[in-house]
Amino acid sequence: MKRFEIVKGPIEPQKYADAVLHAGAGAVTVFTGHVREWTKGIRTLYLAYEAYESMAEKKLGQIGKEIEEKWSGTQVAIAHRIGELHISDIAVVIAVSSPHRKAAYEANEYAIERIKEMVPIWKKEIWESGEEWIGEQKKKPTKVSVTI
């Protein structure tokens, strides 16, 4: 496995937690994002994720770097799955270790916000009555690698 990767099969969260665990870590937070059945009253049958894989892995790595600079002593591993995903499947896992718990919680949330903002991954929702590419960038991505 790579620390920052796009995968095509099921995600095993423990692998990413293990990757960031070390003797100096007092806390590890593991976030898993799952496929939800109901969104705004519409029932999802399944999702299809697509990525610009090489760029997405690079951008996940950039998020890792941002976190390690922002919260010292943290380590990060992130994986996002692409392809067809069904209800309750894990779409994304973020593991963050840090000496103390506060940074591990904060950094983990920062990572998912940044993923939703600028990592080139797209989700198509497939319903009984149709399908649609989802996407709403919150703000323009910039070349700046660290935003503190």
Partner 1 sequence: MDWRAKEKTYESECNYMITIRYFAKLKEIVGKELERLPVESMTVAELIECTGNTYEGFIEHVKSCHVAINEEYAQHDDLIVAGDIVAFIPPVSGG
Least gap, CB of 92 to partner 1 (angstroms): 6
Residues 11, 20, 35, 51: which binds partner 1 (CB under 8 A)?
Answer: 51
Question: Could you say whether residue 42 binds partner 1 (CB under 8 A)?
Answer: no
Of 24 and 42, which CB lies nearer to partner 1 in the complex structure? 42
Helix (H) or strand (E) holding 7: strand 4-7
The b/e string for 6-44 (b: 16+ C-beta within 10 A; e otherwise) is bbeeebebeebbebbeeeebeebbbbebebeeeeeeeeb
CA-to-CA distance for 53 and 86, rounded, in angstroms? 21
**CA gap 57, 80 in Å, rounded:** 9
Kindly tell me which residue out of 7, 21, 52, 68 binds partner 1, with binding defined by CB under 8 A.
Answer: 52
Please list every residue from 104 through 133 that binds partner 1, using CB under 8 A.
Answer: 112, 115-124, 133
Binding to partner 1 by CB under 8 A, coded x per residue (else -) over 55-94, reads: xx-x---------------------x----------xx--
Question: Considering only residues 36, 54, 69, 109, which one is a binding residue for partner 1 as defined by CB under 8 A?
Answer: 54
Structure tokens at 1: 């496995």
In the complex with partner 1, the residue whose CB is nearer, 45 or 134, is 134
Helix (H) or strand (E) holding 71: none
| Residues facing 50 on adjacent strands | 122
Tell me which residues touch partner 1 (CB under 8 A): 33, 49-52, 54-56, 58, 80, 91-92, 112, 115-124, 133-137, 140-143
